[in-house]
């Protein structure tokens, strides 16, 4: 690890501490042409926007060419307004939109035998390793990958090689890695390091990108009341930076609630969450804390569609969040080629279903209610629910409403993972 900054106080690192530490590191990496791979606007609180601004200013001041490829994965391209909000004054023309279906090149394959060893035999198909062709452009003499380490439903803990192989990856890796995680089981991976998907990405990084000049800049952040606090920044080319970031994120981003939550209320900010593809983080990140028979209410005034991609959106509308067993049955039947060809969508349908363990109600605009119900969620009126559960009047955690109702309130599901401590202990859970 080449840079380790860790805050001692709850307010986190100052911007000046981050800037001075990062600039000292970058001084060891002279370059004439730089590619930066930050996350997109859906990771607004990652601090990656600030890190990208520092890197861009440093190298352009030295006369280097700097291109920025937001790691969209399957998400839509960033708008000019989103880029300005997250990345400050960097010219919009420097941003290159990644297309996961067309902009990639195959650089290798992870053998099925290797994956089978990682998954206890649950998945034995090989996976092609595809990345945006710019990563293989030898004119770039430095590739910087800033991003946030945080609990994640597919890989266990986000970022590091995931930023490359999913964020800037191709259809086969995105589809199969998501399905691999779904088949293995979210509860077995979330909040943990050595998940099967993480091992696949580690293998691909070591075998197919070891010669590329990639430098990883890994942040650990929280955002109480919407203010981003940076608790650590870990940078380097080796895995020790990831492991240090994971250890800190497990402290800062995982909340072990004392007992199962009967009713959980999650707020989705309209500027960040406009689809259930993103909004279902409210389900993923709370499912280990909600009681059997409990209720999840998602305050989603900005949700207006399902998928970030037109094909994925159509599949969600066609099949709905029908549950793990139904999705696996459809795939095994061989009759649903559209779903089989879009395994990340199939995985998403599994992730977004509770299989009847608790109910999910999306509070949306009136025009979305029938659509929400058509994909097997319950619906409620957003304005009505926001009057009752007003975000400005609720505190994070357990709240008692005026009529005596007890709820657990979460202002942003993207930055954490919630686990019922009692159940976790009973089941012998260990991070």
Average pLDDT over all residues of the chain: 95
Q: Where among 220, 252, 284 does a domain terminate? A: 252
β-pairing, 104-110 vs 127-132, is antiparallel
User: How many Cα atoms are found within 13 Å in the side-chain-facing hemisphere of 344?
Assistant: 22
The verdict on 207 and 302 lying in the same domain is no
Digit-coded pLDDT (tens) for 293-307 = 999 999 999 999 999
Give the pLDDT band (50/70/90) at residue 225. Answer: confident
In the prediction, which pLDDT does 246 show? 97
Structural domain contains residue 406: yes
Cα–Cα distance for residue pair 287/275, rounded to 1 Å: 19
pLDDT of residue 393: 95
How does pLDDT run across 41-62, given as a tens digit for each residue?
A: 989 999 999 999 999 999 999 9
How many Å apart are CA 110 and CA 207, to the nearest integer? 9
Domain shared by 309 and 245, yes or no: no
Same domain, 60 and 154: yes
Number of structural domains the chain divides into: 2
Instruction: Check whether residue 196 and residue 318 sit in a common domain.
Output: no
The answer to whether 298 and 276 have CB atoms below 8 angstroms apart is no
What is the phi-psi region of residue 123: left when phi exceeds 0, alpha when psi lies from -120 to 50, beta otherwise?
Answer: beta
Distance CA 22, CA 56 (A): 12
Q: Are residues 270 and 201 in the same domain?
A: no
Domain annotation covers residue 100? yes
The sign of the dihedral angle between the CA atoms of 376, 378, 383, 388 is negative
Question: Are residue 226 and residue 355 in the same domain, yes or no?
Answer: no
| pLDDT of residue 397 exceeding 70 | yes
Answer yes or no: do 262 and 247 share one domain. Answer: no
Is the pLDDT score of 254 beyond 80?
A: yes
Average pLDDT over residues 105-134: 96
Domain of residue 409 covers: 257-426
| Distance from C-alpha of 240 to C-alpha of 338, rounded to nearest angstrom | 40
Domain identity same for 342 and 263: yes
pLDDT confidence band for 224 (50 / 70 / 90): confident
Identify whether 371 is part of a domain: yes
Q: Per the domain annotation, does 431 fall within a domain?
A: no
pLDDT confidence of residue 427: 67
Domain end call among 252, 283, 310: 252
328-367 per-position pLDDT tens digit: 999 999 889 999 999 999 999 999 999 999 999 999 999 9
- 3-state per-residue secondary structure call for the chain: CCEEEECCCCCCCCHHHHHHHHHHHHCCCCCCEEEECCCCHHHHHHCHHHHHHHHHHHHHHCCCEEEECCCCCCCCCCCHHHHHHHHCCCCHHHECCCCCCCCEEEEEEECHHHHHHHCCCCCCCCEEEEEEHHHHCCCCCEEEEEEECCEECCCEECCCHHHHHCCCECHHHHHHHHHHHHHHCHHHHCCCCCCHHHHHHHHHHHHHCCCCCEEEEEEEEECHHHCCEEEEEEEECCCHHHHHHHHHHHHHCEEEECCCEEEEEEECCCCCCCEHHHHCHHHHCCCCCEEEEEEEEEECCCCCECCCCHHHHHHHHHHCCCCHHHHHHHHHHCCCHHHHCCHHHHHHHHHCCCCCCCEEEEEECHHHHHHHHHCCCEEEEHHHHHHHCCHHHCCCEEEECCCCCEEEEECCHHHCEEEEHHHHHHCCCCC
pLDDT band at 377 (very low <50, low <70, confident <90, very high): very high
Does 224 lie in the same domain as 183? Answer: yes
Q: Same domain for 342 and 404?
A: yes
Q: Which of 365, 352, 355, 230 is nearest to 300 (CA)?
A: 365
Query: Hey, how many other C-beta atoms are within 10 angstroms of the C-beta on 11?
Result: 11
The pLDDT of 390-416, averaged and rounded, is 95
**Residue 78 covered by a domain:** yes
Mean pLDDT for 263-279 is: 96
* Same domain for 238 and 100: yes
pLDDT of residue 146: 98
Mean pLDDT of 68-74: 95
- The stretch 1-27 carries a mean pLDDT of 96
**For position 351, what pLDDT does the model report?**
93
Q: 144-158 b/e with 16+ CB inside 10 Å = b? A: bbbbbbbbbbbbbbb
In a domain, 339, yes or no: yes
Question: Rounded to an integer, what distance in angstroms lies between the CA atom of residue 364 and that of residue 368?
Answer: 6
Asked whether the predicted pLDDT for residue 221 surpasses 80, the reply is yes
In the predicted model, is pLDDT for residue 26 greater than 90? yes
Contact 280, 251 (CB under 8 A): no
Contacts of 67 (CB under 8 A, 6+ apart): 33, 34, 35, 36, 94, 96, 134, 140
Domain boundary among 252, 275, 308: 252
Determine how many CB atoms are found less than 10 A away from the CB of residue 84: 14
Residue 214 lies in a domain: yes
Which pLDDT score is estimated for 49? 97
CATH code, 314: 3.90.226.30
pLDDT of residue 428: 66
CATH number of 98's domain = 3.40.50.11440
Tokens of 243: 């492991």
Gap between the Cα atoms of 318 and 371, Å rounded? 11
CA distance 273 to 279: 6
CA distance 47 to 297: 28
288-307: string of b/e by CB count within 10 Å (b at 16+)?
bbbbeebbbbbbbbbbbebb
Residue 157 has pLDDT above 80, yes or no: yes
Asked whether residue 231 falls in the same domain as residue 114, the answer is: yes
Is residue 75 predicted with pLDDT exceeding 70?
yes
- Asked whether residue 373 is domain-assigned, the answer is yes
Query: What's this model's pTM, rounded to 2 decimal places?
Result: 0.92
């Amino acid at each position: 690890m080449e840079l380790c900054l860790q805050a001692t106080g709850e307010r986190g690192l100052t911007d000046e501490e981050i800037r001075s530490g990062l600039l000292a590191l970058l001084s060891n990496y002279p370059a004439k042409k730089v590619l930066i791979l930050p996350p997109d606007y859906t990771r607004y609180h990652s601090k990656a926007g600030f890190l990208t601004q520092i890197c861009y200013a440093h190298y352009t001041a030295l006369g280097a060419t700097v291109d920025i490829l937001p790691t969209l994965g399957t998400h839509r391209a960033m708008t000019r307004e989103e880029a300005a909000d997250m990345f400050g004054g960097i010219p919009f023309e420097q941003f290159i939109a990644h297309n996961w279906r067309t902009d990639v090149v195959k650089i290798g394959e992870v053998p099925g035998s290797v994956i089978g060893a990682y998954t206890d035999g649950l998945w034995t198909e090989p996976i092609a390793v595809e990345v945006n062709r710019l990563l293989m452009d030898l004119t770039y003499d430095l590739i910087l990958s800033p991003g946030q380490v945080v609990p994640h439903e597919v890989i266990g803990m986000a970022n590091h090689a995931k930023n490359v192989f999913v964020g800037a990856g191709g259809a086969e890796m995105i589809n199969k890695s998501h399905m691999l995680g779904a088949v293995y089981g979210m509860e077995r991976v979330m909040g943990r390091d050595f998940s099967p998907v993480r091992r696949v990405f580690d293998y691909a990084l070591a075998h197919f990108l070891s010669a590329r000049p990639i430098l990883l800049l890994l942040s650990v952040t929280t955002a109480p009341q919407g203010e981003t606090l940076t608790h650590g920044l870990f940078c380097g080319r080796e895995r020790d930076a990831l492991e240090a970031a994971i250890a800190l994120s497990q402290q800062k981003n995982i909340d072990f609630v004392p007992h199962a939550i009967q009713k959980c209320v999650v707020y989705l900010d309209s500027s960040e969450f406009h689809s259930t593809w993103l909004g279902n983080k409210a389900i993923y990140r709370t499912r280990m804390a909600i009681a059997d028979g409990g209720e999840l209410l998602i305050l989603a005034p900005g949700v207006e569609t399902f998928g970030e991609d037109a094909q994925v959106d159509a599949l969600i509308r066609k099949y709905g969040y029908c549950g793990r067993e139904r999705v696996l049955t459809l795939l095994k039947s061989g009759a649903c080629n559209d779903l089989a060809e879009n395994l990340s969508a199939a995985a998403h349908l599994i992730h977004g279903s509770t299989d009847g363990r608790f109910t999910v109600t999306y509070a949306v605009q009136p025009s979305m209610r029938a659509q929400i119900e058509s994909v097997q969620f319950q619906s409620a009126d957003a304005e009505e629910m926001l009057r009752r559960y007003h975000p400005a009047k609720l505190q994070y955690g357990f709240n008692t409403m005026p009529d005596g109702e007890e709820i657990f309130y979460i202002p942003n599901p993207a930055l954490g993972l919630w686990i019922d401590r009692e159940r976790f202990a009973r089941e012998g859970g260990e991070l």
